[in-house]
């Protein structure tokens, strides 16, 4: 069985964005847990969660936060697991959260996806887990193949439409 993915959000207002991550992880059959933890309001709980993540069966942590988006960095500081940050658009069009998530000091990396990029965060987590899980690797390869086929089908449809109408 694959390791779990932890999805932590700085506020429950981030839940609508994270639904895309949940759906993607379910599609791949990857177990996950999700919690609300704040880098600023519950720093001890966030640190403890991160410190215990390996022994609790997690393989990747996803941290979603807006405004002063320090959650990913706080979690990364307390674990050896990869941490993926999702900057949440809450103020300044999410630019503040993006910058807070990507500007990590040396030794505390946080992989960062696009603002509100929960789907890609989940896919990146699956790719990380797939390094040591052949079944997940096969599912990921199939997803990539399916995406390519969908693009080719759209192109074929476009070519037919162009020939018929132009």
pLDDT digit string (tens) for 41-66?
999 999 999 999 999 999 999 999 99
Strands of the sheet with 111-112, listed across from one edge: 32-36, 4-9, 58-66, 83-88, 111-112
Instruction: Tell me which residue of 35, 42, 39 sits closest to 15, measured CA to CA.
Output: 35
Q: Evaluate if residue 149 carries a pLDDT over 70.
A: yes
State mean pLDDT over 125-129: 98
Same domain, 112 and 162: no
How many residues in total does the chain contain?
A: 166
Same domain, 83 and 124: yes
Q: Evaluate if residue 1 carries a pLDDT over 70.
A: no
Domains held by the chain: number: 2
Same domain, 16 and 72: yes
Range of the domain at 148: 136-166
pLDDT, mean over the chain: 96
Same domain, 89 and 146: no
Maximal CA-CA distance, the chain: 64
Same domain, 141 and 113: no
pTM of the model: 0.93
Same domain, 160 and 78: no
Residue 103 sits at the vertex; the CA angle it makes with 132 and 85, to the nearest 5 degrees, is: 40
- Region of 37 (left: φ > 0; alpha: ψ -120 to 50; beta: rest) is beta
Same domain, 143 and 102: no
Same domain, 36 and 109: yes
pLDDT at position 68, please?
A: 79
Same domain, 52 and 32: yes
Same domain, 23 and 67: yes
Q: Give the three-state DSSP class for 64.
A: strand
Same domain, 118 and 141: no
């Amino acid at each position: 069985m694959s390791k779990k993915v932890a999805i932590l959000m700085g506020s429950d207002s981030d839940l609508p964005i994270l639904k895309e991550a949940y759906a993607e992880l379910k599609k791949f059959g990857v177990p996950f847990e999700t919690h609300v933890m704040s880098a600023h309001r519950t720093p001890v709980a966030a640190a403890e969660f991160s410190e215990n993540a390996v022994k609790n069966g997690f393989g990747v942590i996803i941290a979603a936060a807006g405004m002063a988006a320090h959650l990913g960095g706080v979690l990364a500081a307390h674990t050896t697991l990869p941490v993926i940050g999702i900057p949440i658009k809450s103020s300044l069009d999410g630019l503040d959260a993006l910058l807070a998530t990507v500007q990590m000091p040396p030794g505390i990396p946080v992989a960062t996806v696009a603002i509100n990029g929960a789907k890609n965060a989940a896919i990146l987590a699956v790719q990380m887990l797939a390094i040591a899980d052949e079944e997940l690797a096969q599912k990921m390869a199939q997803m990539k193949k399916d995406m390519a086929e969908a693009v080719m089908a759209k192109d074929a449809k476009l070519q037919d439409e162009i020939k018929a109408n132009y």
